[in-house]
Amino acid sequence: MRKILITGGRVIDPATRTDDHVDVLLAEGRVAEWGKGIEAGGETLTVDVDGAIVAPGLVDMHVHLRDPGREDEETIESGTAAAAHGGVTAVAAMPNTEPAIDTPSWVEYVRSQETPIAVYPIAAITVGREGKTLTGMAELAEAGAVAFSDDGSPVVSPTVMRRALEYASMVGLPIISHCEDLDLKGSGVMNEGLASTLSGLRGIPAAAEEVAVARDIILARTTGAKLHIAHVSTEGSVELVRRAKEDGIAITCETAPHYFSLNDDDVRSYDTSLRVSPPIRSAADLAAIKVGLADGTIDAIASDHAPHSVEEKQVEFDAAPPGMIGVETLLPVTLTNLVQSGTVTLERAVELLSTDPASILNIPHGTLEAGSRADVTVFDPDWAWEVTADWFRSKSKNSPFIGRTLQGRVILTISEGKIVFEENATSDNDDGEAHAEGEHRPEELPVHV
Ligand SMILES: [Zn+2]
């Protein structure tokens, strides 16, 4: 394997509290060393990234790869190629496939695929995600599951959730909870408020999420288990998690880029890619999510990448299945709506997108420290560009960011020492020379051999 020397970049590695203009040398799939003026040997590929940010590979802890079952929407292969395109070098795949990932052999199926980046299976909490019988958590952990979740559905029974937390705790893995009270949700399809009234769509109150968050915090306290709340979307949920952390409960949580970028007024466009679960909330909720991201209440940003076919989304808003794709726009949407707006620093953004999700899942990613896995994301935070449908590598195109201008773009993704995405690389051109076409990073393109 050829060594890679990354020069000319600004290295941001929150795990080692590094923010410095240094070179990084990768060898044998590991970070060999970093420092100023590293000399490259003969067999080394030197990449001058020309002032771009060099960060640990991003970790997206919440993606739906739809494989097995809906390979028309996404496969493990297409979803991981999309992830590499988005600067993501590790994903945790949710088990709400058909069938659900609820046996060791299905966990092995997810792990055994040849993929450009690392894929970690999350196994179901209950058999068939039906909320009744717990899965064999010890065997699933043994097979390589990194967490348990019935995501897509809440665990309705408090008794089942309590036992799940107890068993997960025994095998040392977190429970990832999709917090939604189905009774309060009713037949709602968007956030309940003025926007739902004006649009004539049935509303889902914030309480539908917050009641479920409160229940699970109480169960986490009584069991002492590790609880992770998925896709936090409301001001009240942020406050509940903040207080639980102050009380010393072992709780972490994530939000998704759409919850700090869009509000329920946007949903009045009836764009079905804006139908998500939980729904896009009010401007006040959005502001509270930003505060939670900045003050450490929210630990991670995950895309909740949820591919759906064009046919399924080309229907009335109420009839569309919930979910939007997001693994490819995770970083640029975060840079545009959190970093450019001054809500968080670049270092905090990298922590939220890489270091902290890796630590929640206890997987060997999220740092550029010498000796760690050579997963690197290089991005230009100042590059403004317009998102187009054909830019995506996902099989699905259900993104509300199509047609919008974002600021910040991934230019190079390296997974375990191999280049898995390179801006402007062409298939018949492996010497790394850049080809100019369309809209480009204003300065020189990154790769020089
Ligand atoms: Zn969910």
Residue 192 located in a structural domain: yes
The total domain count for the chain is: 1
Q: Decide if pLDDT at 156 tops 60.
A: yes
By annotation, the residues acting in catalysis are 304
Report the pLDDT averaged over residues 291-310: 97
pLDDT level of residue 41 (50, 70, 90 thresholds): confident
Residue 348 located in a structural domain: yes
The CATH number for 234's domain is 3.20.20.140
Query: What is the whole-number distance in angstroms between the Cα of residue 216 and the centre of ligand 1?
Result: 15
Q: Decide if pLDDT at 168 tops 60.
A: yes
Question: What percentage of residues in the chain have a pLDDT greater than 90?
Answer: 93
Q: Which residues pair with 126 in a beta bridge?
A: 134
CB 110 within 8 Å of CB 93 = yes
Q: What's the half-sphere exposure (Cβ side, CA atoms, 13 Å) at 47? A: 31
Residue 16 located in a structural domain: no
Beta strand pairing status for 300-301 and 118-121? unpaired
Chain mean pLDDT for the chain: 94
Residue 410 located in a structural domain: no
Residue 368 located in a structural domain: no
Report the pLDDT averaged over residues 253-281: 97
Q: Give the pLDDT of residue 40.
A: 80
- Amino acid letter, residue 248: G
pLDDT tens-place string over residues 223-252: 999 999 999 999 999 999 999 999 999 999
What is the distance between the alpha carbons of residues 193 and 189, in angstroms, rounded to a whole number? 12
What is the distance between the alpha carbons of residues 413 and 254, in angstroms, rounded to a whole number? 23
Query: What is the whole-number distance in angstroms between the Cα of residue 62 and the centre of ligand 1?
Result: 9
Q: Which residue has the higher pLDDT, 435 or 197?
A: 197
pLDDT level of residue 428 (50, 70, 90 thresholds): very low
Q: Give the pLDDT of residue 111.
A: 97
- Structural domain for 249, as ranges: 57-361
Residue 68 located in a structural domain: yes
Query: What is the whole-number distance in angstroms between the Cα of residue 275 and the centre of ligand 1?
Result: 13
Q: Dihedral angle at the C-alpha atoms of 325, 406, 295, 347, nearest 10 degrees?
A: 100
pLDDT level of residue 424 (50, 70, 90 thresholds): confident
DSSP state of 318: G
Residue 423 located in a structural domain: no
What is the distance between the alpha carbons of residues 19 and 13, in angstroms, rounded to a whole number? 7
Q: Decide if pLDDT at 425 tops 80.
A: no
Three-point CA angle 412, 415, 416, nearest 5°: 140
The reported pTM is 0.94
Query: What is the whole-number distance in angstroms between the Cα of residue 324 and the centre of ligand 1?
Result: 12
Q: Which residue has the tokens 């895309």?
A: 303
Query: What is the whole-number distance in angstroms between the Cα of residue 151 and the centre of ligand 1?
Result: 4
Residue 226 located in a structural domain: yes
